[in-house]
Structure 1
Amino acid sequence: MALPAACLSEDQFTCSICLEVFNNPVSTPCGHSFCQSCICSYWDGGGGGRGAKSYQCPLCKESFQKRPELHINRTLKEITEQFKQMANSSLPTSEGVMGREPPNVQPLPNLSAPPRRGDMPESIFVEMVARFQQLNPTGMPHFSSTESQNYFFQTQNNGGLDPPPPYSTSNSVGSPADVPSNLPLCPIHLRGLEFFCRTDNMCVCSACTETTEHRGHNIVSANREWQIKKSQVGFTELELKDLITDRERKLEEIQNSILEIRGIEMSHRAAESRAQSLLRELEEEIAALKKKSSTLNQLAESEDYVIFLKMFPTVSTLPQVKDWSSVSVSSQLSSGAILRSVNHMMEHLQEEMQKLTEVCQRSSPAQPVPRPKPKVKRVQEYAADITLDPSTAHPRLLISPNGKQVHCSERHQLVPDNPERFDRVVCVLAHQGFSTGRHYWEVDVGGKTDWDLGVASRSVNRKGKINVSPAHGYWFLSLRDRTDYAFRTDPSTSLTVNSRPSRIGIYVDCDKGLVSFYNVEAKQLIFTFTDSFRDTIHPFFSPCTNKSGQNEAPLTICPVAVIE
């Protein structure tokens, strides 16, 4: 007994990849079924995208993080195998693609006739319907056992089943009489272009398949090839949508980056504007001091003691000026040129203040004007006793017994690899740590070509490669190749130092977040950086490597002496 075409059709047993009846059907976690070889080949070829998307359902595009373990759906396999047997027993045989006419289809026997070889017993058919409803509840009408029998008997009584459509299987060529009238015609044989030659990638008629031009080629049904290509177009369209989505996401990311860059530029312009304002304020103070100095010079040269004594109390008093020690410009936003200009103007202001003081002293020896202490002298009041901590020293560093001197040797010392020790950067920290107050110390750097001096947080990374910048807990001044001074920011801020210092003074105000560096002999400020110290900070020392003896001089912590 053959299967009713209105109940079970070939489309319900067709793999959506190869468009053939299932061969060893398997089901993905999303519920869709495919031939085992088809879905495995699809995934092996990278079907569905890259990365986590490499395992996708070809139909619904659901992604699986891991390749699903597929098992043959044995119930569906049994149904498809029985369907193939029934289809083969009900279809006329074909001679291939050589255009021979199939024999006439024999009419189906009526119900009263005895069963023929190849007919399916009614009980098996009812069981197949029940199983197929469980596997694909939406692909066919639902029947009870009695309804299935009635439906089948009604179909048989209405004259039997229609024969299968011509050319429903690949590589089969039917009679020209069966060709639909609406097919485009072959320009050579005037027959319908119902086949497709995959070898030559062109549509052909049944007569073309018999010619030497196409004989032996891969000939398939044009309609089936059209369905396959349409499914491929659908997959390609989904791939294109994924590509478009990825690029739209990247476009949005780049647009956000542009907005961030513009915000940084605005912050940079604001910092530069502030630095320019500081320059103008410094210039105004310098001009006022110069004017005061000129007036004092004229008064000192006056021979009229009456006018001198009358004007002296007014002109000999130093003007009120701003304390510039706490003023700084963040190097993270300002350019190095502006920072150097501000520092240069501050040095110029100090020089003018010194000249003004000397003029006042010459003007009235009997009544000397109180002389302001130089900045270096004021910070010396906060001198701290600093000693080096050998437990933090790099294995190549040698520490003096009193903990006041360090230099780099050519070999590693036999020291324990404790967590506090630096193992890659040749540096050492001091025993003393500061979290509040003001502190000052001086280091002798004479004879060295390279060094690093400053402070570091107690919690800094001490193993492996180290990023030295304020953001990573390091605030220090560097010298390289005798002349290149820089404060280690990211990127480094280059500094101009007029006279090469042999002694460096380091001043730290933990409460204000200031770290300043001075040329002690020249009584000049080299650089000031403002930040916030969230952790205890320790003095930081690095003599750098010896450079084949050129930089073998040690770093020595010196006693702080008040300079008059």
Structure 2
Amino acid sequence: MASAASVTSLADEVNCPICQGTLREPVTIDCGHNFCRGCLTRYCEIPGPDPEEALTCPLCKEPFRPGNFRPNWQLASVVENIERLKLVSTPGSDEEDVCQEHGEKIYFFCEDDEAQLCVVCRQAGEHRAHTVRFLEDAAGPYREQIQKCLECLRKEREEIQRIQSRENERIQVLLCQVATKRQKVIFEFAHLCQFLEEQQSILLAQLEKLDGDILKQQDDFDVLVSEELCRFSNLISELEEKNGRPARELLTDIRSTLIRCETRKCRKPEAVSPELGQRIRDFPQQAIPLQREMKMFLEKLCFELDYEPADISLDPQTSHPKLLLSEDQRRAQFSYKWQNSPDNPQRFDRATCVLAHGGFTEGRHTWLVKVDLAHGGSCTVGVVSEDVARKGELRLRPEEGVWAVRLAWGFVSALGSFPTRLALGEQPRQVRVSLDYEVGWVTFVNAVSQEPIYTFTASFTQKVFPFFGLWGRGSSFSVSS
């Protein structure tokens, strides 16, 4: 029995030069080359550039007469034998390539019924009026459709893979945020427990001192009362004795005795001094720092857990030429020397300011600004709207799309419609800026003492950016989450 490789090699020798498939109803033309009858007929029907020019062989270009087709029965027999060998040498091919009804090789495809046909099926009446094509010819358009579908499906698959990758990264970010929040809760509660233990010790020590002072004053009171009782008991005994004597003895020095008794004033001692009583009444005031710390703790905890730390970096495309930015774009320093910065529509040309990358159109975000004004100057921090003026004078107020505070040497101002100097417990050196886009809050807090600085209320309608400004030699700031 012939091997599959040898059968395939023989089949290649009986291929039609036009359709590249096995010869079907082979015919020979004048030059001796063989073609499928159907392929050669269609070739002859194709109009050439010169209708009068004779047809030439598709292989050797020799002229031939269209009507001079000679059936090559011997070659047809060879093709048939090769087809039988292919059926025998290819497992399962007899069931797949042979018509189940007529046992003939399937060569054709009916477009109307989507049926695969053999020669006998094609001649049947039910398919005569239908569009019937060779299998390869019929498969061509479907291959093109399949290719288009494959391209679309592959694009969809790539999109799903991109979504999967993006969402997996997002999940990892969320897991990191949850882990960070967990550490913050542990840290804040540990700090609170330490504070509560310290406060408990302080309050108990104060109560212990009050307890000792009360007992001491009780002892003093008991001594004083005993002395008074002793004096009054002596006077009472003296008068009782005087009253029991005869008249002559009773009248002796009677007037001085009565005056001494009548002028004797009773001291009315107090067991608790007014000062100690006031200390006892004022003791609840000692818990005010505890109450304030608890309130601050809850506010800080809710703040830390609620706002999303923002990864802030400065945008050099917006930086004024007098600002020196660090390589990591997280620190800026003022300099009177202008940098070689190309002008562009995004850059501030008069206000010595810089914006952060990105910006926000939703959500709750927070970032930390560390300010260094050791050599004087001032620093402005806040947020600005996307369309804030970059060229010319910049008015730092909400009407111009700026919500910011200015930190200078010795004072802090809220840059509202009219700048307001703020009365703070201490000069902030680290400012926590928080943005609630939906609610419209821009909040500033002393990041060290947690003392509130100022809160703007706005109605945001476009993207807003973290905003920073510097003035004065040596002044600088750095940003972090």
Regarding TM over 0.5, the answer is: no
TM-score interval, normalised by the smaller of the two chains: 0.3 to 0.5
Q: Which protein has the bigger helix share? A: 2
In our comparison, the structure showing a higher alpha carbon Rg is 2
Q: Using structure 1 for the length normalisation, give the TM-score.
A: 0.33
Q: Which protein has the bigger strand share? A: 2
Q: Using structure 2 for the length normalisation, give the TM-score.
A: 0.38
